[in-house]
Amino acid sequence: MDTSVVEKIVKEIEQHSPKKEGAHVGRVTAVGDGVVAIDGLEKAVMSEVVEFEVTAGKSLKDSMASEGDLFGLILNLEEDGVRAVVLGDTSRVKEGTTVKSTGKILSVPSGEELLGRVVNALGEPQDGKGPFKKPTMMPVERESYGVIHRKSVSVPLQTGIKAIDAMIPIGRGQRELIIGDRSTGKTTIAIDTIINQKYEPKDRRPICVYVAIGQKESKTARIVQQLKDNDALGHTIIVDAPASSPAALQYLAPFAGVAIGEYFMDRGKDVLVIYDDLSKQAVAYRQLSLLLRRPPGREAYPGDIFYLHSRLLERAARLSEEKGGGSLTALPIIETQEGDISGYIPTNVISITDGQIFLESGLFNKGVRPAINVGDSVSRVGSAAQTKAMKAVAGTLKLELAQFRELEAFMQFASDLDKATADRIATGQRMVEILKQKNGSPMPFEQQVVDLYAAVHKLYADVPLPKVKQAEAQWLEFVNAGYGDVLDEIKETGVLSDEAKNKLNAAMEAFRGAHKELFA
Amino acid sequence: MAGLEQSYAQALWELLQKGEKPKEAVTKIHSALQEKGRGALMPAIGRAFERLAQREALKNRSVLVVARKSDEAKARKESGAHDAELQIDETLIGGWKLFDKGTMRDESWKSALLTIYNNALK
Separation CA A27–CA A327 (nearest Å): 43
How much is the CA Rg of chain B, to the nearest whole Å?
21
- Say if residue A278's pLDDT is above 80: yes
What is the count of residue pairs from A and B with beta carbons less than 8 Å apart? 79
The Cα–Cα gap between A496 and B78 comes to 79
Which of B1, B91, B104 shows the shortest C-beta gap to A59?
Answer: B91
Cα of first residue to Cα of last residue in chain A, in angstroms, is 78
DSSP H helices, A33-84, are 60-65
Indicate the DSSP class of residue A414.
G
The C-alpha of A281 sits at a distance from chain B's nearest C-alpha, in angstroms, of 28
Name, in order, each residue with C-beta under 8 angstroms of B64's C-beta and a sequence gap of 6 or more: B72, B75, B76, B79, B81, B84, B85, B86, B87, B96, B97, B98
Q: Residues 74-93, chain B: which have Cβ within 8 Å of A?
A: 89, 91, 93
Check if B104 contacts A (Cβ < 8 Å): yes
**pLDDT bucket at A435, cuts 50 / 70 / 90:** very high
pLDDT band at residue A142 using 50, 70 and 90 as cut-offs: very high
**pLDDT of A455 higher than 80:** yes
Which tens digit of pLDDT belongs to each residue from A310-362? 999 999 999 999 999 999 999 999 999 999 999 999 999 999 999 999 999 99
Query: DSSP secondary-structure letter at A319?
Result: B
Q: Residue B117: its chain A contacts at CB < 8 A?
A: 64
Quick check: helix, strand or coil at residue A100? strand
d(CA A152, CA A172): 9
Three state DSSP letters for A48-99: EEEEECCCCCCCHHHHHHCCCCEEEEEEEEECCEEEEEECCCHHHCCCCCEE
Contact A24 B55 (CB under 8 A): no
3-class SS letters over B12-78: HHHHHHCCCCHHHHHHHHHHHHHHCCCHHHHHHHHHHHHHHHHHHHHHHCEEEEECCHHHHHHHHHH
Helix (H, G, I), strand (E, B) or coil at A26: strand
Average pLDDT over residues A417-446: 90
Q: What is the mean pLDDT of residues A401-415?
A: 78
Asked if B62 has any chain A CB less than 8 Å from its own CB, the reply is no
Does residue A67 have a pLDDT over 90? no
The Cα–Cα gap between A505 and A259 comes to 48
Q: What is the separation, in whole angstroms, between the first and last Cα of chain B? A: 44
Is B1 exposed, middle or buried, given 0-12, 13-18 or 19+ CB atoms closer than 10 A?
exposed
Backbone angles phi, psi at A163, to 5 degrees: -60, -35
For residues A12 and A7, what is the distance between their CA atoms, to the nearest angstrom?
Answer: 8
pLDDT at A229 > cutoff 90:
yes
Q: Please name the residue of chain A whose CA is at the shortest distance from the CA of residue B96.
A: A18
Over 90: is that where the pLDDT of A499 sits? Answer: yes
Q: What is the pLDDT of residue A18?
A: 53
Could you list the mean pLDDT of each consecutive 10-residue stretch along chain B, which spans 122 residues?
Answer: 79 89 89 89 90 80 92 92 91 92 90 85 65
H or E stretch at B108: strand B103-108
**What is the rounded distance in angstroms from the CA atom of residue A288 to the CA atom of residue A44?**
19
Which of A22, A39, A63 has the CB atom closest to B104's CB atom?
A22
Q: What pLDDT score does A62 carry?
A: 86
pLDDT in tens, A294-305: 999 999 999 999
Between CA A256 and CA A248 the distance in angstroms is 12
Look at residue B1 in the predicted model and tell me its pLDDT: 43
Residue A496, number of CB atoms within 10 A of its CB:
23
Do A29 and B51 lie within an 8 Å CB cutoff? Answer: yes
- Find the Cα–Cα–Cα–Cα dihedral A183, A186, A191, A196, rounded to 10°: 130
Nearest to A63 among B2, B6, B110 (CB): B110
Chain B residue numbers with beta carbons less than 8 Å from the beta carbon of A98 are: 104
Shortest Cα distance, chain A CAs vs residue B17, angstroms: 18
Cα distance between residue A374 and residue A392, in whole Å:
19
| Contacts (Cβ under 8 Å, ≥6 apart) of A514 | A478
Written as one letter, the residue type at A144 is: S
DSSP helix/strand/coil, A273: strand
Cα-only R_g, chain A = 27
Closest-approach residue (CA) in chain B for A53: B111
Question: Which of A12, A55, A100 is the closest to B116 by Cβ?
Answer: A12
- B9: nearest CA partner in chain A: A80
Catalytic pick from A27, A311, A380, A424?
Answer: A380
What pTM was estimated for this model as a whole?
0.87
Looking at A387-444, list the stretches that DSSP marks H as alpha helix, in order from N- to C-terminal side: 388-394, 397-408, 419-435
The interface predicted TM-score (ipTM) is 0.75
- Chosen for mutation from A7, A28, A64 (greatest number of chain B CBs closer than 10 Å) is A64
A155-187 tens-digit pLDDT: 999 999 999 999 999 999 999 999 999 999 999
> Any idea what the Cα angle at residue A352 is, between residues A351 and A356, rounded to 5°?
70
Give the chain A residue nearest B91 (alpha carbons).
A59
Q: Give the model confidence (pLDDT) of A209-223 as tens digits.
A: 999 999 999 999 999
Instruction: Determine whether B16 is exposed, middle or buried from the number of CB atoms within 10 Å of its CB (0-12, 13-18, 19+).
Output: middle
pLDDT value of position B2? 58
**Contacts of residue B58 in chain A, CB cutoff 8 Å?**
26-27, 39-40
B31/chain A closest Cα distance in angstroms: 26
Q: Residue B7: which residues within 8 A CB-CB, separation 6 or more?
A: none
DSSP 8-class letter at A144: P
Q: Calculate mean pLDDT across residues A237-241.
A: 98
Helix or strand or coil: residue A513? helix
Residue in chain B lying closest to A60 (CA): B110
**Residues of chain A above pLDDT 90, percent:** 75
Considering only residues A306 and A58, tell me which one the structure prediction assigns the higher pLDDT: A306
Give whole-number Cα distances, A177 to A162, A168, A484, in Å: 17, 11, 35
pLDDT at A485 over 70: yes
Which residues from B are below 8 Å from A18, CB to CB? Answer: 107, 112
Task: Tell me what pLDDT residue A20 has.
Answer: 61
Closest CB from A12, A25, A55 relative to B104: A25
The contacts of residue A165 (CB under 8 Å, 6+ apart) are A156, A158, A159, A386, A390, A394, A445, A448
Q: Is A140 helix (H, G, I), strand (E, B) or coil?
A: coil
Residues facing residue A332 across a β-bridge: A275
Residue A84 in contact with residue A72, Cβ under 8 Å? yes
* A217-229 vs A186-196: helix crossing angle, rounded to 10: 30
A380 is catalytic: yes
Query: What pLDDT was estimated at residue B4?
Result: 84
Number of Cβ within 10 Å of residue B98's Cβ equals: 22
Mean pLDDT of chain A, nearest integer: 92
Percent of chain A with pLDDT over 70: 97
Chain A positions touching B1 (Cβ under 8 A) are 79
If 0-12 CB within 10 Å is exposed, 13-18 middle and 19+ buried, where does residue A407 land?
A: middle
Q: How many CB atoms lie within 10 A of CB A186?
A: 26
Question: Which positions ≥6 away from B31 have C-beta within 8 Å?
Answer: none
- Looking at residue B33, its amino acid is L
- Determine the pLDDT at residue A496: 93
Closest residue to A9, CB basis, from B89, B106, B116: B116
Q: Is B87 helix (H, G, I), strand (E, B) or coil?
A: strand
B3 touches chain A (CB under 8 A): no
Own/partner pairs, B40-44, CB within 8 angstroms, 24+ separation? B41/B4, B41/B5, B41/B8, B44/B3, B44/B5
